[in-house]
Structure 1
Amino acid sequence: MLTADKRDPAALPRLLLTVLAIALLWPGIHVSELNPGVLLEAENRRQMGSFISGFWPPAHDYEFLALLWEAILQTLAMATAGMALALLLAIPASLLASRALSLGAASRGGQLGFWSRTLRLPVRGLLIFLRSVPEIVWALLFVRAVGLGPTAGVLAIAITYSGMLGKVYAEIFESINQRPAHALMQAGSGRLNAFFYGILPGAAAELVSYTVYRWECAIRASVVMGFVGAGGLGQQIDLSLRMFAGAEVASMLLAFLVLVWLADQLSRLLRGRLA
């Protein structure tokens, strides 16, 4: 009686992929000069322990908490205003870049014609350009143009995130069932009506989830851009680090943690309402 072969047929491909991944990763580790062993050296451990000990207890005096609250509000305002401006560009750009509302695609069963693809190339190219430059680079440019303060951060977030949102929105519109929208357009409905009644209901939950996630990312980006003079929590953290005020840095990091947690809870709530 023949015994069943219990060997995993995918074992060899997985082994080859693992070896290939290690072969590709090793040069990167070598070029980046990664050496975790330096963390275990006695002098480095002593310095890290001394640095971390300065973070406790977190600062909680009234004057500092008032400054912290102002920095939190400024960070939230920067992220929210930047996202609002990004949406003004991302929504129309995503509709132009997507084939979901193409009359040609509706008449050809979802296939775009030559001219439809050609006309969408400049919009897709613009979205690629906007998201290819990191927001920290835009912030440095705008700090030189408009001076120190949150205005530079708002503009940097608006430019970079409009490219990100526009690309993902277009892909979301194309990923859902487009037959209702195509049927509406073939019946004589306008593109906006086809969007609101044929595309948006099926894409709303995913759009809201991604938008809130990007708003959370914008909050983190606002903190990072503060280190180049864009205001908010990041600028206060930079100032406290320069003065070796670890207790103040600890309080600001805790406040930042709460902000991210609240953004996550908001995303869950909105997804639950739209599900």
Structure 2
Amino acid sequence: MLNARHATDPAALPRLMLTIAAVALLWPGLMLSELNPLVLFDEDNRRTMGGFLAGFWPLAHDTEFLRLLGRATLETLAIATAGMALALLIALPASLLASRALSRSAVSREGRPAWWSQALRWPARAVLIVLRSVPEIVWALLFVRAVGLGPTAGVLAIAIAYSGMLGKVYAEIYESVDPLPARALLGAGSSRLAAFLYGVLPQAAAEMLSYGVYRWECGIRASVVMGFVGAGGLGQQMDLSMRMFAGAEVASMLVTFLVLVLLADLISRALRWGLA
């Protein structure tokens, strides 16, 4: 028989203290957010939501609406794709500047970059922090004021916000691969571009591509959300339909959105399988 000392869980007290600390931190947040799930069961709210949801079926499928839905879907894909393309144009060079994977000083100092080399990378990292610190919906609001309603605001918002995210992650990917091939090329006198193309990129390509496709999928979702502030695409059309309480149209757009996300997931899986 185990005695009382061995029967007692030694981690019980730390777990209890962690639980108490989590509740103590969570409770003020719940109070400040004024969370009250009971409002969902209010009679007026249930009647309103029930009437709106009842209109979801059957799905809207008339010719004029399907033509409008197809245009909005293509616009959403175009916003996400064009925004990602512009983001990559910014993120790739910025990630190379922010990463120490191609530092010549790391080769000459046995893997320890010189202080001045680290100082030169901080401006690039600071730019990436600024770009990704502002959510894309805020960028969309700013660009809607600057260039007006339409897809252009969505493209620019995705390009700015996602360039910071891609640049940060790509710089970390470069530093996570085996540094010996790149350092050997740099030590032999190769340029940084050649060291990147032949020493870093072959090891990092699969992970970079996988994350890029994931960000493209996020861009599709973000473009729908940004449509509610006038940045075009499915979101803008969904906002109009919700204002008119056209539940059937909203349901058709939700199904279309689900298909778009599923398509992005299938593309991501196919690319991972092809590079495996």
Partner in structure 1 of residue 237 of structure 2: 236
One-letter identity of the residue aligned with 1:21:
A
Partner in structure 1 of residue 272 of structure 2: 271
Describe the SS at the equivalent of 2:116.
helix
Matches within 5 A, 1:83-122: 83-122=84-123
| Aligned-residue offset at 1:119 | 0.6
Partner in structure 2 of residue 28 of structure 1: 29
Deviations 1:5-51 (A, max 9, x none): 25443332222222111110110000000011222233322222112
One-letter identity of the residue aligned with 1:246:
G
CA distance in 2, matches of 1:263, 1:33: 36
Q: 1:107 to 1:9 in 2, by over 3 A?
A: farther
Answering whether residue 228 of structure 2 is matched by residue 227 of structure 1, we say yes
Answering whether residue 147 of structure 2 is matched by residue 141 of structure 1, we say no
| Aligned-residue offset at 1:155 | 0.8
Answering whether residue 202 of structure 2 is matched by residue 201 of structure 1, we say yes
| Aligned-residue offset at 1:83 | 0.4
CA distance in 1, matches of 2:106, 2:15: 40
Matches within 5 A, 1:1-275: 5-275=6-276
Deviations 1:101-159 (A, max 9, x none): 01111233332211011111111110011111111121122112212111111111111
The worse-fitting range, judged by mean Cα deviation, of 42-51 and 195-204 is 42-51
Describe the SS at the equivalent of 1:57.
coil
Q: Which runs of 5+ in 1 are unaligned?
A: none
Cα RMSD of the aligned pairs, angstroms, is 1.5
Q: Which runs of 5+ in 2 are unaligned?
A: none
Deviations 1:213-262 (A, max 9, x none): 10011111111111111111011001111111110010001100100011
CA distance in 1, matches of 2:10, 2:206: 40
CA distance in 2, matches of 1:105, 1:8: 48
**Identity %, equivalent residues:** 73
Describe the SS at the equivalent of 1:99.
coil
TM-score, length basis structure 2:
0.95
CA distance in 1, matches of 2:113, 2:272: 32
One-letter identity of the residue aligned with 2:122:
L
Q: 1:228 to 1:201 in 2, by over 3 A?
A: same
